[in-house]
């Protein structure tokens, strides 16, 4: 399979360059390109994207049953620009709204970070299973917070 080399130019972009013009069995870019570098954590757990957080919006916290991490997660969210009074425990019977946030402890069962996602679309869904009506929610990853 072809391989790809890459060079980190800055915290804002990563340049990928092809190793081979003829990929033998798999992925190999045909020309170099630059992709935005998201999810780069900086010192002191401050995320470069946190300036984009709207502190007036709700953030729904998904703990996957880890009640012992609620306080630690809430404190991490507040330290990264969210308002404490806007942190809401996610409910499988009530989804959030477009432009609000989801904060998901990841990866269960032993999470080490919080995935911050912005809700982009909400469609009706039956409130079944653990996911409930959140099954109808589309979202985009924004950044991660180490816990």
User: Tens digit of pLDDT for each residue in 30-75?
Assistant: 344 433 444 433 334 445 556 689 999 999 999 999 999 999 999 9
CA distance 129 to 64: 13
Please state, for a pLDDT cut of 70, what percent of the chain lies above it: 65
Dihedral in degrees, nearest 10, Cα atoms 131, 134, 139, 144: -50
* Mean pLDDT of the region 87-107: 97
Specify the pLDDT at position 139: 98
User: pTM score > 0.85 for this model?
Assistant: no
Identify the residue with better confidence: 115 or 21.
Answer: 115
Identify the residue with better confidence: 63 or 29.
Answer: 63
CA distance 101 to 90: 11
């Amino acid at each position: 399979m072809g391989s790809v080399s890459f060079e980190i130019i800055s915290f804002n972009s990563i340049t990928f360059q092809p190793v081979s013009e003829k990929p033998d069995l798999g992925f190999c870019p045909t020309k170099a390109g630059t992709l935005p570098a998201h999810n780069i954590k900086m010192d002191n757990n401050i995320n470069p994207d946190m300036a984009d957080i709207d502190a007036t919006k709700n953030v729904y916290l998904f703990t996957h049953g880890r009640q012992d991490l609620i306080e630690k997660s809430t404190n991490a969210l507040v330290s990264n620009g969210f308002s404490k009074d806007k942190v809401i425990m996610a409910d499988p019977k009530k989804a959030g709204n477009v432009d609000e946030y989801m904060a998901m402890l990841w990866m269960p069962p032993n999470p080490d970070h919080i995935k911050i996602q912005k809700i982009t679309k909400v469609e009706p869904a039956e409130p079944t299973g653990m996911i409930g009506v959140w099954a109808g929610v589309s979202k985009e990853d924004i950044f991660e917070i180490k816990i």
